[in-house]
Amino acid sequence: MKENILFQLKKKYPTLFYKLLYTAIIIMLYLFGRSVPLYGVDHSAVYSGSWNATTLLTSTVSGDIYRCSVLALGISPYMLAGILVQTVTGLKRSNGKAKLSQRKQNHMTLLATFFLALIMGYMRVEELTFLGEPFIYAKWVALLELICGAMIILWLSSRNKKYGIGGQSALIFVNVLEGLIRTLFGARGSGLLVSLVVSMVVLLLMIYMENTEVRFALQRISIHNIYSDKNYLAVKFNPIGVMPVMFASVGFMVPQAVLRLLCKAYPDTEVYPEILEKMTLTSPVGIVTYVVIFYLLGLIMAIIFLNPQDTAEQLLKGGDSMIGVPAGKKTKRFLLGQIVKQTLIGTTLMAVVIAGPMVAGLYTEVPDELMLLPSSVMILTGVVCRLFGEMEAVRDYDSYTSLF
Note the pLDDT of residue 245. 79
Residues 6+ apart with CB under 8 A from 292: none
Give the rounded percent of residues in the chain with a pLDDT score beyond 90.
Answer: 6
List, for residues 35-61, the tens digit of each pLDDT value: 888 888 877 766 655 566 666 677 777
Per-residue exposure over 322-358, b if at least 16 CB sit within 10 Å of its own CB, e if not: beebebeeebbebbbebbbebbeebbebbbebbbebb
Q: Residue 22: its pLDDT value, please?
A: 93
pLDDT at 50: 55
The better pLDDT of the pair 151, 105 is held by 151
**What pLDDT is recorded for position 151?**
92
Sequence-ordered list of residues with C-beta below 8 angstroms from that of 21, at least 6 positions apart, any chain? none
Cα dihedral: 65, 379, 83, 62 (round 10) = 10
The residues, ordered by sequence, that sit 6+ positions from 267 with a Cβ below 8 Å of its Cβ are: none
Report yes or no: 46 and 129 within 8 Å, Cβ to Cβ: yes
Report pLDDT digits (tens) over 329-346.
888 888 888 888 888 888
Mean pLDDT calculated for residue range 88-114: 74
Kindly state the average pLDDT of the residues 312-326: 78
Closest to 104 measured CA to CA, from 118, 120, 116, 92:
92
Q: What is the pLDDT of residue 24?
A: 93
Confidence of residue 148 (pLDDT cuts 50, 70, 90): very high
Look at residue 6 and tell me whether its pLDDT is greater than 70.
Answer: no
Give the pLDDT mean for 308-313.
Answer: 81
366 vs 24, residue with greater confidence: 24
Strand partners, 235: 214
pLDDT of residue 1: 45
Higher pLDDT, 104 or 91: 104
Once rounded to an integer, what is the mean pLDDT over residues 368-387? 82
Mean pLDDT comparison of 18-32, 102-116, 266-280, 390-404, highest-scoring range: 18-32
Quote the pLDDT of residue 3: 57
Label residues 128-144 b or e (16+ Cβ within 10 Å = b): bebeeeeeeebbeebbe
pLDDT bin (cut points 50, 70, 90) of residue 349 is: confident
pLDDT of residue 309: 80
Q: What is the pLDDT of residue 253?
A: 78
CATH code matching the domain that covers 5-399, chosen among 3.30.1330.100, 1.10.3370.10, 3.40.50.300, 1.20.930.40: 1.10.3370.10
The larger pLDDT score, comparing residue 98 to residue 307, is at 307
pLDDT of 130-144, one tens digit each?
Answer: 876 666 788 888 899
Q: Is the pLDDT of residue 100 over 50?
A: yes
pLDDT bracket for residue 107 (50, 70, 90): confident
More confident residue, 169 or 192: 169
DSSP of 153-170, one letter per residue? Answer: HHHHHHHHHHHSSSTTHH
Q: Alpha carbon of 345 to those of 140, 150, 204, 386: distances in Å? A: 46, 34, 16, 20
**Would you give the DSSP letter of residue 4?**
P
Q: Which pLDDT score is estimated for 279?
A: 83
Taking the CA atoms of residue 226, residue 229, residue 232 and residue 237 in that order, the dihedral angle to the nearest 10 degrees is -120
pLDDT at 25 over 50: yes
Structural domain boundaries of the chain? 5-399
Q: What is the pLDDT of residues 209-266, one digit of tens each?
A: 888 888 877 776 665 555 555 677 787 888 878 778 777 877 787 788 788 888 888 8
